C-alpha cells in the first residue's frame, strides 16, 4: 500500500500585496482540511508568470484550473478547493 501524495496548490503572489496576504491566510485555513501543500511563487521572480498574472494576482491554481483575485473570497476558495481536491 503506497502513501497518498499531497496535492500541490500553486499560489501566485507578489510582495506588498494586502489581497495576496489575505488569500494566503484563507488557503492556510483550508490546508489541514483538504491536505495540500502550498507552492508560493512571486510573479516578479519569473518573467512568464509576471506577463501572465500581473493584473490578476493573487491566483490560486490547482489541476490547471485557476481562481483569480476578482473571485477570491472565503466561500469561493472553499468551493474551488472542494471541486479540485475531492
pLDDT digits (tens, 9 = 90+) for 17-47: 999 999 999 999 999 899 999 999 999 999 9
- Given a cut of 80, whether residue 3 has pLDDT beyond it is no
Q: What percent of the chain has pLDDT over 70?
A: 94
Distance CA 53, CA 48 (A): 9
**Residue 8, C-beta contacts closer than 8 angstroms, at least 6 positions apart:** 36, 37, 38, 39
Amino acid at each position: 500500500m503506497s502513501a497518498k501524495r499531497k496535492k500541490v496548490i500553486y499560489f501566485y503572489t507578489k510582495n506588498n500585496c494586502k489581497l495576496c496576504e489575505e488569500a494566503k491566510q484563507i488557503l492556510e485555513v483550508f490546508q489541514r482540511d483538504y491536505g495540500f501543500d502550498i507552492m508560493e511563487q512571486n510573479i516578479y521572480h519569473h518573467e512568464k508568470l509576471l506577463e501572465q498574472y500581473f493584473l490578476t494576482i493573487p491566483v490560486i491554481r490547482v489541476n490547471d484550473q485557476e481562481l483569480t483575485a476578482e473571485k477570491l473570497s472565503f466561500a469561493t476558495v472553499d468551493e474551488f478547493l472542494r471541486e479540485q481536491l475531492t
